[in-house]
Structure 1
Amino acid sequence: MTAPGTPQVPAYERLRAEFSAGRVEEVIVGLPDLQGRLQGSRIAVPYFLDEVARQGFGACVYLLASDVEMGTGPGYAIDAWDTGFGDFVLRPDPATLRLPPWDPGTALVIADAVWPGGEPVEVAPRRVLRARLDGLAERGLVALAGTELEFLVFRGSYRDAWERRYHGLETGTRYNVDYSLQGLSEIEPVARRIRREMVRAGLVMETGRAECHSGQYEIVFRYDEAMTTCDNHVFFKNGAKQIAAQEGVALTFMPKFDGGEGNSCHVHLSLRGTDGAPVFADDAADGGMSDLMRHFVAGQLACLADFALLMAPNVNSYKRLRPGAFAPTGVAWGRDNRTCPIRVVGSGTSLRIEHRVPGGDANPYLAVAAVVAAGLYGIENRLPLPAPHTANALADPRLPRLPSTLGEALRRWERSEIAAKVFGEAVVGHYAHAARVELEAFETAVTDWERVRGFERL
C-alpha cells in the first residue's frame, strides 16, 4: 500500500518493491554542487517514501556556495554566513532514481534545490540548465546530448596518492595505448567493472577504449535528453571513483595531470522538435545543414570566449587548453576537424556538433547550458555562419583566441553583455565569485615548481 502523499510514480513503486524484498535499505539523495559533485544524505527507505519523496528535506545552503574544499564566504549570490547557514529544500527527481551495484542495499536519486517557499534556487547548476532547456521548449525544440569523459587510472589507492602528495604515481599502463587492444591488463579489471556496473545501473554504454596518455581510458554512453545525460554523467563520475577505491586503485578526471595528454569531456549535442523530428539536417541545403543549425553553430562561435568559464571552471582547466596539447585554442568550426573547438559531425538524423572545449572537470549542467544558451543566441539573432575551417586550427594565428587562463575567462564572463542577458546577473555574479575564489586559492599557494626553481638558485 502506498503511503499517503507519496507520489504515484513507477520509480517509487519500484523502490517500494525493492525495499519489501529486502534489497534496498537506504536512498542516497544527491545535489549536484558547483563543481558537479553529488552532495547529500542517506535516508531510510520508509522515511524517504513517507516524507522526503513528497516534500523533500532540508540541507545547508552553503552546498551551492562553496569551493572544492567546501569553503564558503561572502561574495556568492547565496551568502551562507549572512543567513546563519540556513537550509534550502532538496526535492528528489524520481526520474533519476538508480540502484548503484557498487553500493549494495542503496538507491540514488538526484535532487533539485528549492527555497522553503518552493521557488527554485536559480544559481543551482541543474536549474541553470533547466532554464536554458525551457527556452528551447518555448521554440518547440528539445536538446539531445552526450558527454565523452576521459580519466587516468593509477596503481595504488587514493590514500596512497594523498600520502605521497600525488608525486611519483604509477599510471595503469606504461605507454600510449590509444585504441590499443593489448597492454591494458593493469587497467582492464577496473575499467571492465565500471562498464558492467554502469550498464547494470541502467546507463546505455556505447564504447570503451584506451586513450593517448598512459593509463588513460574513455567510456562513452548513449546520448539522451540533455538533462538526463547530465544526470547520468554525475552518476557515472561519482560511481567510477567509488569503484576505483574499492578496487584499490585511483583515477582522476582532472584536465591536466602532467605534461601528457589531458582529460577531455567532449559534448555532443543536437536539436529535435518536440515531435522527435530532427531539425539540424537539411539535405537540400549547403553541407546538409539547416538554417537553424547554421545559426546555432554561429552562436557557439559568438559566445565561446564569453562562456568559457562555464566549460573550463578551474585553474587547471587552462593547462589543457594550451597550444600543442591537442585541445582547442582558437575560435573556429569545421567539418570533422578535431583541431576546431566546434566540430560538426554526422549526417541526416545524426548530424550534430561536438563541443571540444570542456575538460574532465567540467560541471556537465553548466557546460551543456552554455552550449544551449549560445545556440539560442545564434538562432534568435539569426547569426551568419562563416565558412568552415579546413586546416589545423591549433596552429592558425589568425583565429580569435579562447581565454588562456582562468583570470582571462573570468574577465570575459563578468564583462559579457550576452552572459548578463542570457543567464542573469545572479548567475553571472555567483559563478564569477566561484572563479575568483579558485584564483585566490591558487595565487596564494606555493607550488613544487617554485621550490624546484627557487629553493637553492634564487
Structure 2
Amino acid sequence: MTVRNSRYLSLDQLRARIAEGEIDTVVVAFTDMQGRLQGKRLHAAYFLDVVIEHGTEGCNYLLSVDVDMNTVDGYAMSSWETGYGDMEFELDMDTIRVLTHLPATVMIQCDLVWLDHSPVVQSPRTILQAQVERAAESGYVALAGTELEFIVFDTTYEQAWSSGYRDLVPANQYNVDYSVLGTSRVEPLLRDIRNTMYAAGMNVEGAKGECNFGQHEIGFLFDDVVATADNHAVYKTAAKEIAAQHGKALTFMAKYNEREGSSCHIHLSLRGEDGELVFWEDGRRTPVYDQFIAGILATMRDFTLLYAPNINSYKRFADGSFAPTAVAWGLDNRTCAVRLVGHGESARLENRVPGGDANPYLALAAMLAGGLYGIEHQLELEPEQTGNAYTSGNAKVPTTMREAREAFHGSTIARKVLGDEVVDHYTNLADVEMKAFDAAVTDWELRRGFERL
C-alpha cells in the first residue's frame, strides 16, 4: 500500500496502535448520494480479527434513500421487490486516518461492491474513479482542490432543530470577509478544525472570513482528485462534529438566507503520468487546456445537477452575488462560471458553480468527464468573457432543479461518459427531492397566506 503522507497510518502502524491501546475504535465509512459519510463504528479487536480478512457489509438502501433516510421508489439497484440486500464495504487501506477530536478513533474510507465483488457503479466514489481511469487511458492525472464555505451559529444543533432553524444567532454580526478581527471571534473553533484536519492527513492552508454573517472558509492544498474528495467528505463531517463540541452549529447549505450563499469553488488541472505540465507550455495555455475548458463549458448545463444537487442549491444563482449565472469563462473573472487562474505549474481552472452542499465526488467526476470530452472531441474554446458576465447574454446555468434534471436526464453526453445506470439513478434522486418539496407547505406560504389571503 502507499500511505498518502506521514500523518496517515499504514495497516501495520494501526495494528501496533491497537495493540498498545491507543486506538479502540475504527470507523469504516463511505460517501452516499447526498455527500454524507455513512458506515459503522467497529471495536478495534473485531476489526483486526474479522473485518480485515472477511470484510463488512451494509444494506444497499444506503444508496437509495432520501435525505431523511426514508426508503423511496424509483431506484433500480434497491427496492422492496429486490429485498434490500447487502453491499460490501471494500476498505481502502490508503485512507487510514486518526481523528483526534474523537477518543482513540481512526477512520477508513471505503468503496462499495456487490457481494460478487463487482463495483456498485452508482456509488459516488466509483463514479469519480471511473473518470480517473478515463483520464489515465489518455496519459493524464487529475489534481484538484475544493474551497468550501460554511456559516457558524452560536447555538447548538439541538437548539437549532427545536427552533425550526429560524432566528439563529450567527457567530459574526457583520461582513467579516478577510477580517482578522472577524475570524478571531471564532478562532477557537476554526483552530480546532484546522489542527484536527491536519492530524487527519489533510494539508491545511488557512482560514478566512467571508461575506455572510458568521460565514468562514478553511482552505486545503490541492491533491489527487480522489484524495481531495475523500478529504472533503471527512472535513464536512468532522467540522460539524467539532462545532457541536464547541456548543455551536455550522451549515454548508448553498443558501441559508437571502444574503450571500456558501460556495464550493473547485480548482482542477491535469498533469502527465510523470508530473509533466499539460495545461501550460512556452508561457501560454496549451490546446489541450483550451479543449478541456471548452468541454466543461459544453457540458455545464447537462451536468449542473451534479454541481447543484438540491432544491436549495439553485437559490444561490443570482446576478451580482459572486455565484455564477452565465456559462462563460474568463481570466481571473469572478463573474464567470469558469475562472482561469495561475500560470505554469499553477495553471488551473476554477468552477464556481458548485455550492457548499455539493457532493465532491460527483462534482469532480462531472468536471473531469466534461473536460475529457472536450479533449477527445477537440472542442474549440469560445472567446473569453471580459467584463460583467451577468449581463453578457451568454447561456445561463439552470435556475431550478427541474430544469437541471431535464438537461441531465436527456443528455446524450452524460449517458455516454457516465453511463445510463448513473444518469437514471441520480435523475431519480432529483425526482424524489422535487416531489417532497412540491408537497411541502413552506413558512413563506404561511406568512403570506395565513391572514392576508
What band does the TM-score fall into relative to the shorter chain? over 0.9
**In structure 2, what is the equivalent of residue 178 of structure 1?**
177
Instruction: Give 1:197 shift.
Output: 1.2
Instruction: Give the match for residue 426 of structure 1.
Output: 421
Partner Cα separation in structure 1 for residue 76 and residue 30 of structure 2? 18
Partner Cα distance (2:44, 2:187) in 1: 35
SS of aligned partner of 1:208: strand
- What does the per-residue CA deviation read over 1:129-179, in whole Å, with 9 as the maximum and x for residues that have no partner? 000000000011100000000000001100010000011101000100100
Q: Which moved more, 1:193-202 or 1:135-144?
A: 193-202
For the Cα contact (< 8 Å) 1:209–1:219, is it kept in 2?
yes
- The residue type equivalent to 1:432 in the other structure is T
Offset of 1:84 from its aligned partner?
A: 1.5
| Structure 2 residue corresponding to 1:367, chosen from 351, 363, 369 | 363
Q: Which runs of 5+ in 2 are unaligned?
A: 1-7
For residues 198-209 of structure 1, what are the structure 2 equivalents within 5 Å?
Answer: 198-209=197-208
Displacement after TM superposition at 1:388 (Å):
0.9
2:412 aligned with 1:413:
no
Query: Any conservation in 1 of the 2:183–2:208 contact (CA below 8 Å)?
Result: no
Local SS of the residue matching 1:147? strand
SS in 2 for 1:316: helix
Contact 1:93 1:110 in 2 (8 A): yes
Hey, what does 2:3 align to over in structure 1? none
Task: Please say which of residues 50-59 and 161-170 is displaced more in the overlay.
Answer: 50-59
Partner AA of 1:332 in structure 2: A
Q: Distance in 1 between matches of 2:169 and 2:207?
A: 22
Q: Which deviates more, 39-48 or 60-69?
A: 39-48
CA contact (8 A) 1:80 1:86 kept: no
Contact kept? 1:73, 1:81, Cα under 8 Å: no
Once the two structures are superposed, the pairs formed by residues 108-187 of structure 1 within 5 Å of their partners are 108-187=107-186
1:82 is displaced (CA, Å) by 1.9
Per the alignment, residue 188 of structure 1 pairs with 187
1:49: Cα distance to partner? 2.3
Structure 2 counterpart of 1:376, from 359, 372, 382: 372
Q: How far apart, CA to CA, are the structure 1 residues paired with 2:149 and 2:405? A: 25
Pair 1:292 & 2:291 matched: no
Match of 2:434 in 1: 439
The CA RMSD over aligned residues, in Å, is 1.2
Alignment of 1:294-333 (within 5 A): 294-333=290-329
Q: Check whether the contact 2:66–2:72 (CA below 8 A) recurs between aligned residues.
A: no
In 2, Cα distance between the equivalents of 1:283 and 1:345? 17
Secondary structure, aligned partner of 1:305: helix
State the alpha-carbon separation in 2 of the partners of residues 10 and 39 from structure 1: 21
Note the C-alpha offset of 1:277.
0.8
Match of 1:239 in 2: 238
Aligned partners of 2:327 and 2:337 also within 8 Å: yes
Quote how far apart the aligned CAs of 1:10 are.
Answer: 6.2
Residue type at the aligned position of 1:308: T
**Corresponding residue for residue 6 of structure 1:** none
Q: How far apart, in 1, do the equivalents of 2:280 and 2:75 lie?
A: 42
TM-score with structure 1 length normalisation? 0.96
The residue aligned with 1:92 is: 91
Count of equivalent residues = 446
Once the two structures are superposed, what CA deviation does each residue of 1:242-300 show, in whole Å capped at 9, x if it has no partner?
0000110000000000011100000000000111111011225xxx1111101000001
Structure 1: give runs of 5+ residues left out of the alignment: 1-8
Q: In the TM superposition, what is the alpha-carbon distance from 1:185 to its structure 2 partner?
A: 4.1
CA distance in 2, matches of 1:209, 1:302: 33
Instruction: Name the CA distance, whole Å, in 1 between partners of 2:339 and 2:203.
Output: 24
Q: 1:138 & 1:86 partners in 2: Cα distance?
A: 34
1:394 counterpart residue number: 390
Conserved in 1, the CA contact under 8 Å of 2:182 and 2:209? Answer: no
In the alignment, the residues of structure 2 paired with residue 191 and residue 213 of structure 1 have an alpha-carbon distance, to the nearest angstrom, of 16
Measured against aligned partners, the alpha-carbon deviations of 1:154-212 in whole angstroms (never above 9, x if no partner) come to: 01100010000011101000100100111344322111111111112221111211111
1:280 aligns with 2:279: yes
Q: Partner residue of 1:355? A: 351
Of 83-92 and 145-154, the range deviating more from structure 2: 83-92
Give me the whole-angstrom Cα distance separating, in 2, the residues matched to 1:155 and 1:333: 38
Letter in 2 for 1:207: G
Q: How far apart are 1:54 and its partner, in Å?
A: 3.2
- Over 3 Å counting, the alpha-carbon distance change for 1:385 and 1:455 in structure 2 is same
**Map of 1:455 onto structure 2:** 450
- Whether the 8 Å CA contact 2:150–2:356 is kept in 1: the answer is yes
- Find the counterpart in structure 2 of residue 5 from structure 1: none
Bigger Cα displacement from structure 2, 182-191 vs 261-270: 182-191
Per mean C-alpha deviation after superposition, the further-off stretch among 431-440 and 76-85 is 76-85
Q: Is the 8 A contact 1:73 1:79 kept in 2?
A: no
How far the C-alpha of 1:47 sits from its partner, in A, is 2.1
The amino acid of 2:377's aligned partner reads N
8 Å Cα contact 1:328/1:394 also seen in 2: yes
Q: Is the 8 A contact 2:31 2:37 kept in 1?
A: yes
Contact kept, 8 Å, 2:194 with 2:206, in 1: the verdict is no
Q: Which residue of the partner structure matches residue 3 of structure 1?
A: none
Shift of 1:377: 0.5
Tell whether the 8 Å contact from 2:292 to 2:372 is kept in structure 1 after alignment.
yes
Amino acid in structure 2 at the alignment position of 1:218: E
Instruction: Tell me which stretches of 4 or more aligned residues in structure 1 moved more than 4 Å.
Output: none
Deviations 1:377-400 (A, max 9, x none): 10000000111111111222x101
SS of aligned partner of 2:302: coil
Report if aligned partners of 1:345, 1:353 keep a CA contact under 8 Å in 2: yes
C-alpha separation between the residues in 2 aligned to 1:348 and 1:362?
Answer: 29
For normalisation by structure 2, the TM-score amounts to 0.97
Q: Is the 8 A contact 1:145 1:225 kept in 2?
A: yes
Deviation at 1:55, TM superposition (A): 3.5
Alignment partners' CA distance in 2, 1:54 and 1:32: 22
